[in-house]
Structure formats: structure tokens, C-alpha cells
Amino acid sequence: MDEPDFLSTAQVTIIGLGLMGGSLAMALRGHCARIWAYDPDELSLRMAQQQGIVDRASANLEEILQDSDLIILAAPVQAILRLLNELPGLVPGGPVIMDIGSTKRQIMAAMQKLPQQFDPIGGHPMCGKEKLGLVNADAGLFQGAPFAFTRLKRTSTRAQQLASQLAEAIGAKALWVDADTHDHWTAATSHLPYLLSSALVLATPSDARQLSGPGFRSMTRLAATPSSMMLDVLETNRDYILTALERFREQIELIETLLKHNDRNQLELFLSESAGHKKEMG
């Protein structure tokens, strides 16, 4: 028997019309009954309504949460944590609450404390751009990207099916993972690359830009990400990021040793092993 199509009849309310929230609203058009949105920025609200990105937009949070079937928290991590604390006093009924924050442990702990009428589920689409804001939103942003979902013991089957339907609707690939594993993995695949990109920019002489090619540009792209978005991530995943930095430091020290000793054979072995590992990872 086919599972019920919860998404097609849902009123989806997106809290935050930045890059991710705006892209999600665009990608969900035609896949749900209505899309409402909240954002404190009046320019974003006008743009969202004038371009038909949402059916209704408001800077009044309590007003926009009425009649929601699915509330998506598309905000920085600390803002999500504040919203989870405020929602019980603002939301009638028992909607599904989903976040799309970049770290999961603290958010899922806060979701666990929500009153029982709420149906919480964690989410994190593994995609994005270094340029933020609704003006850079793109309906195709999620195509082919993993969308990590984290459930609690209290998360209903309906919420899980709704999450899977949402991922399918926007072209993403649903991946179910616990909060600890999510933060462990993303420390290596997302948060560490941002720090390394930033460090590489600062370690490069400014006049060397005359000879910067696509390799340097691709390696340093993430450094352009606003720190306002990344500081919350670094703070809430500090332990796993420190572990990832230690593993990276070991590899850098090995390269340094091989170069100091001019050990061509071991350096070739190191590079070949790296290339093989990259092929396995995709």
C-alpha cells in the first residue's frame, strides 16, 4: 500500500527567507497546499510576495504560524534554539516541527523538550552557497544533494513520511542519521573545509593572486561565507571540529616530514593513496 501523501495537502510555514529558506520555498512550489513565511526583513518579505515565492509572508511570527501543518526553521543554529524555546507560546495545534540547521545535537535536545503536541524532526540539506540571502536563492539548490534527517523516539511515522516526501519533492536524497553521527561527519565534510579555506586565504600572500587559478579559487570559495552564519556552527560542534582538525594536522605534519627528507617514494605513495581514497568517496 502506498504511503499517504501528507505533503500535498500541507500548509508549510518557513521561518527565515534567507538562502536556504528561500530556496526551499521555491523548490516546494506546487508540491504543497500553501507556503507561508516569516522573516524580520521587510525587503525579503516584499520580494517573496512580489515574485510569488510564497503565498503569504509576514514579519509577525505569531500570525504566520497559525494553521501550520509543517513549520520549517530555516535560521542560524542559535536562532533555531531560541525559536524552539518560544514556539510553545506561539503555536496552536500540533504541527510537525523541522529545522534545517547545520548542527544537530543541541537542536535535537531542545526539540526533545517541546510539549508533546509538537511532532519534531531534525533536518539538514547538504548544499548551499557562500553568498546568502533571498536574492541568491535557487529552486535547484537541492537537486541530487543529501538531505540528512534526524528523528527522536517521539517522532511520528507521519513526520518521517512527510520529511521523505519533502526531500523527494525538491530533488534531494533523504539520509537518516542520528544527531551525534551527523555532527561527527559534518565536522569533517563541511565545517573543517570552511576553516581550511579560511586558513589558506590568510596563508597566501596577497600579491600571489596574480597567479591564482581555478584550483586556488575552488579551494578558497568557502572562505567568502559570512562569519555570522558559521560562528554558530563552530560553537555548537566545537568538540568534533577539534577532532577533525587534529586528524588534519597529522596529515599536514606527515607531508612536511616527507618534504623535509625529500622522500619521493613515500610522497608518491601518500599522493596515490589520497587519490584512491578520493575516488572511493566520490
CA distance 52 to 74: 19
Degrees, nearest 5: CA angle 112-115-121: 45
pLDDT score of 120 more than 60: yes
Percent of the chain at pLDDT above 90? 92
How does residue 209 score in pLDDT terms, banded at 50, 70 and 90?
Answer: confident
Q: What is the pLDDT of residues 32-66, one digit of tens each?
A: 999 999 999 999 999 999 999 999 999 999 999 98
Confidence of residue 228 (pLDDT cuts 50, 70, 90): confident
pLDDT, average across residues 115-142: 94
Q: Quick check: do 7-177 and 182-281 share a fold?
A: no
Of 110, 81, 129, 84, the C-alpha closest to 232 is 81
- Reply yes or no on whether the pLDDT at 267 is more than 60: yes
Report the pLDDT value the prediction gives residue 2, as an integer from 0 to 100.
66
CB 146 within 8 A of CB 172: yes
Can you give the residue ranges of every domain in the chain?
7-177, 182-281
Look at residue 149 and tell me whether its pLDDT is greater than 60. Answer: yes
- Contact yes or no for 64/13 (Cβ under 8 A): yes
CATH for 182-281 is: 1.10.3660.10
pLDDT of residue 221: 94
Q: What is the pTM of this model?
A: 0.94
Cβ neighbours around 102 below 10 Å, total: 26
78 has pLDDT over 80:
yes
Is 1's pLDDT higher than 70? Answer: no
**CA–CA distance from 263 to each of 115, 162, 258, 260, 269 (Å)?**
62, 55, 5, 8, 10
**Both ends of the chain: CA-CA distance in Å?**
35
Question: What percentage of the chain reaches a pLDDT higher than 70?
Answer: 99
Given a cut of 70, whether residue 263 has pLDDT beyond it is: yes
Q: What is the CATH number of domain 7-177?
A: 3.40.50.720
Q: Look up residue 151 and give its three cell numbers.
A: 528523528
Per-residue pLDDT, 20: 96
223 contacts: CB under 8 Å, gap ≥ 6: 130, 194, 197, 198, 200, 201
